[in-house]
Amino acid sequence: MSRIDYSKWDNIDTDSDTELKPEPKPKPKSEPKPKPNTAPTPPAPQAAVGSAQTATPANEGKIPAVILRCEKEKQNHPPWSAVNLASDHLAFEENPVSPISALIEVPLMLHRVHSQFKNQWEQDNQIATYLMIDPITGFAPPQWQSWVGTVLAVRADRKPLLPHHLEGVWMYCDRILDIFGDGNGAPQHLYNRKAFEEWWEGYARTQKRNRPGKGGDTDPDDWRAVKSPYEM
């Protein structure tokens, strides 16, 4: 897998004016059969949601989550940012759980909210693809490799999901992919809570030193007081 361009994290702005609203549940669609070295047929368009509202204490009763934007939307918005969702939002219903996140006991569900762009590159979402890799093969299912679109990430246990925790699980998946890339097979020893906790401690310590930020829990670059995802 290609390395991540960390320059995209510079000057991330998490401000937004409107709140995500529950969207109509899309009709079931059949997934196309994967073909070697070809992109799956794009899914039929779904209803778009409004722009994200930054999570604040004023949004009492809402559940903090994270929006992961596709390549096209990242041209005008941050790659990811905090949002608040109603507890009955479709994101908390039957959506796929990131396999690695389930193994490390920070279960993340991904819910697609956009599919209206015409080109594959516009709808690519590398973070979502990394989160959906299979622990044995190191590959994401075809439907999560391209035409992914913008995604809402929530915790399946309905606990608050901070941008920092989302980043941590994503970068842990990136580490796992590096091991696959070295030809060493599935790193089974990393597929448990203890292994992630040890990794998280070092990762968070480095981010606290290098990314002081100023926006609190909703600022992906403010690591000053970030808790472990197991303390939420």
> 115: pLDDT confidence band, cut at 50, 70 and 90?
low
Among 141, 64, 50, which residue's Cα sits nearest to residue 96?
141
Residue 2 maps to a domain: no
| Dihedral angle of Cα 126, 132, 134, 138, to the nearest 10 degrees | 10
pLDDT greater than 80 at residue 102: yes
pLDDT of res. 114: 66
Residues 6 or more apart whose CB falls under 8 angstroms from that of 99 comprise 132, 133, 134, 135
pLDDT of res. 204: 96
Question: What is the distance in angstroms between the CA of the first residue and the CA of the last residue of the chain?
Answer: 31
Tokens found for residue 212: 């002081």
Mean pLDDT in residue range 25-53: 40
Residue 1 maps to a domain: no
Residue 198 maps to a domain: yes
Mean pLDDT in residue range 191-196: 98
pLDDT of res. 184: 86
Global confidence as pTM: 0.74
pLDDT greater than 90 at residue 73: yes
Residue 136 maps to a domain: yes
Residues 6 or more apart whose CB falls under 8 angstroms from that of 218 comprise 14, 54, 55, 56, 81, 82, 163
Q: What percentage of the chain carries pLDDT values higher than 70?
A: 73
pLDDT greater than 70 at residue 38: no
> 23: pLDDT confidence band, cut at 50, 70 and 90?
very low
Higher per-residue confidence, 32 vs 193: 193
> 94: pLDDT confidence band, cut at 50, 70 and 90?
confident
Q: What is the mean pLDDT of the chain?
A: 81
Residue 51 maps to a domain: yes
**Digit-coded pLDDT (tens) for 165-174:** 999 999 999 9
Give me the number of domains the chain comprises. Answer: 1
**Digit-coded pLDDT (tens) for 137-182:** 999 999 999 999 999 999 999 999 999 999 999 999 999 999 999 9
Residue 153 maps to a domain: yes
Range of the domain at 103: 7-27+36-231
Residues 78/13, Cβ–Cβ less than 8 Å: yes
Of 19-28, 88-97, 136-145, where does mean pLDDT reach its minimum?
19-28
> 56: pLDDT confidence band, cut at 50, 70 and 90?
very low
Q: In Å, what is the CA distance from 210 to each residue of 1, 15, 90?
A: 26, 22, 36
